[in-house]
Amino acid sequence: MKIRRASISDVSAIFAIRSRVRENHLSVDQLAERGITKAAFGKWLADGYGMWVADLDGAAAGFAIAIPREATLWALFVDPDFEGRGVGRALLRVAEEWLFAQGCSDISLTTDADPKIRAHRFYENNGWHCTGDADKGQVEYIKSNPTLSLFDFG
């Protein structure tokens, strides 16, 4: 598996993955209602978002998007055909390391508040902690930079 920075040429593959997921599924129309369009990707790249694609077996197997100014892992999705092969874990690791390298001391993400979805177990198993804060059917998770101690103030 190769994790690489996404480019504008990956937009179609990213949308294909996003529209195929089993949990937290949104159609292309539902994404557009939220301002998530193919045209927006160029702006996000220009604005410094971290975007990665996992290539496996010659195909885009998953993607992640992080927003450093918000210290947020904004998206992480794996194509259902590649589930259970470490794609999500690899993308998560790259996005976390990048956000921490951007100076974020704590990072966050939101996911569906339904406790039955697999994302909860996935994030908890990777060191994220649920804050209990929920909004509009979403719940927040946070993770602190493991290289910072209580005595680091800069």
- pTM of the predicted protein model: 0.89
Q: Quick one: pLDDT at residue 80?
A: 95
Q: Quick one: pLDDT at residue 148?
A: 62
| Segments of the chain with pLDDT less than 50 | 150, 153-154
Dihedral of CA atoms 85, 31, 129, 126 in degrees, nearest 10, equals: 10
Q: HSE-up of 27 (CA within 13 Å, CB side)?
A: 2
